Amino acid sequence: MCGILAVFGCVDNSQAKRSRIIELSRRLRHRGPDWSGLHCHQDCYLAHQRLAIVDPASGDQPLYNEDKTIVVTVNGEIYNHKQLKEKLKAHQFRTGSDCEVIAHLYEDYGEDFVDMLDGMFSFVLLDTRDKSFIAARDAIGITPLYIGWGLDGSVWFASEMKALSDDCERFTSFLPGHIYSSKEGGIRRWYNPPWYSEKIPSTPYDPKVLREAFEKAVLKRLMTDVPFGVLLSGGLDSSLVAAVAARYLAYSEAACQWGSQLHTFCIGLMGSPDLKAAREVADYIGTRHHEFHFTVQEGIDALEEVIYHIETYDVTTIRASTPMFLMSRKIKSLGVKMVLSGEGSDEIFGGYLYFHKAPNKREFHEETCRKIKGLHLYDCLRANKSTSAWGLEARVPFLDKEFINVAMSIDPEWKMIRPDLGRIEKWVLRNAFDDDQKPYLPKHILYRQKEQFSDGVGYSWIDGLKDHAEKQVTDAMLMNASFIYPENTPTTKEGYYYRGIFEKFFPKNAARSTVPGGPSVACSTAKAIEWDAAWSKNPDPSGRAALGIHASAYEESADADADADANANVNAMDLIDGPSRKIEKGVEEKIATA
């Protein structure tokens, strides 16, 4: 990942202003420690902090067209840059950077070229011929981007809020799949896939098509000129990423430089579920595995730094970002600069445990659409900023544009959790990789119950955070929270504690408005809480809040304990070999009658 900052229409274009832009850009240096660049044109500034992944020797930014009338600063990777260069043979390329195609595509296609890009990106482009500019963000919002406005009429863009919050009167998160055009004076959506309308699809499920689409998504993300690896938690999603990468690495260009043995990385509290499962997967697929440990106290000590980097006070995001932040530092110390990660699968396939309660396929599909549209505020933000804090780039194959189109075109009836048919969450994905002849993963890993990252690193992690917040926030403080924080009022002591840290770094009203609010159970949207009346009594985003579904669900009462013992101990092999009768009471009846 890189860091970008661009400012247009400054009234003051003195040397002092240039120095200020350099100072603000320096706040993004953690994202790109390899080189710094700045282009000034009258009252326009484009700054860049580079993390060199492709063409480290000559790909410094900003990038230009042949006569340097087009200037672009980019954060991201363009996986189809070689194919795009075939369309741009009339142009002369100065570097081997995958991002240089953006300047030339603009020359040939104007502002309508963005949909041609296959990758993750945020970029700002200046056309010095008429001083017009555009800014765009990738389809899902894998890379972060903010837009702000100064009192002098200037327009600002930055990879992180910290680079523009002090100098802008107002700022907000730049919407994924959108483009800003100075010529049109506004923002419009360039990404218009069929699923975006939330219309119920009807394509029959084809496991071979789904598997091949995912394999392609993983393979194209092996484009790198630096050492890389895979974040492996031992859950389904990261295990599939690692298994596919390990299987096909020898046939990729990356293997010529870095060898054919894949490196995998995992973190957890001593004895956590993830560490055990990840080690088993790594041994099975033959990776060189690196296991890191942290303590609850080490995580608590890092909280302020984590919140400063990830720029949110969302409870779930902070819980999961902290171990990822600690792991990224360890990974970078090994000389690794790029990792593949498993974000996005749960949103696409309804993998969170609360989807057990989806009353019908329409509501199931609409919830997956809502979850994908909100990824840039949650998991994408976490995966990008937690790793970028240490100059590490995270790539997410599940959020490949083509793969999303394939997966979201499947009739959602196939994605529904159907215990009577032996289908647990994400069954369509599990089944697609259930190959007895050339197995990708052990069966019990392939059918392991969903475990949120913040839970899987060790259940005492979340319990420790709650205990710490209990000591820091008094009952009176929480009782008066609505007066102190009238917008997105925290409802728990943990949320109150995080909010206080966030406000210390980002005190402006605009900053707190960049964070979404509303109740959540097991990472649900507020809408999905309506699926079960009991959830409104237990609004915790942990997967263990899915009472009666998660095998280690929170205790609700003595009666709930008894029900959980009887109903929540889901055995993976039961779900493989035949219909399970161990899932929460009422789930089967609701699904069967939907």
The candidate with the shortest Cα–Cα distance to 139, out of 124, 118, 160, is 118
Q: Would you call the peptide bond into 541 cis, given omega within 30 degrees of 0 as the criterion?
A: no
Q: Running DSSP on this structure, what letter comes out for residue 568?
A: S
Buried b (16+ CB within 10 A) or exposed e, 224-241: bbbbbbbbbbbbbbbbbb
Cα pseudo-dihedral 505, 509, 511, 515, rounded to 10? 120
Cα-Cα-Cα-Cα dihedral sign, residues 34, 39, 43, 44: negative
The partner residues of 187 in beta bridges, in order of sequence, read 180
Q: Which amino acid is at 454?
A: S
Rounded distance, CA 113 to CA 72, Å? Answer: 14
Cβ atoms of 147 and 155 closer than 8 Å? yes
Please give the C-alpha separations between residue 469 and each of 498, 543, 553, in angstroms, as whole numbers: 9, 20, 21
Cα pseudo-dihedral 179, 184, 187, 192, rounded to 10? -60
Query: Edge-to-edge strands of the sheet including 263-268?
Result: 288-293, 263-268, 228-231, 338-340, 393-395
Catalytic pick from 2, 10, 44, 523? 2
What are all long-range contacts of 202-206, with beta carbons under 8 Å and residues at least 24 apart?
Answer: 202/411, 203/409, 203/410, 203/411, 204/410, 204/411, 204/414, 205/410, 205/411, 205/414, 205/428
DSSP string, 375-391: GGGTHHHHHHHHHHTTT
Buried b (16+ CB within 10 A) or exposed e, 108-134: eeebebbbebbbbbbbbbbbbeeeebb
Q: Coil, strand, or helix at residue 356? A: helix
2 counts as catalytic: yes
Active site residues per annotation:
2
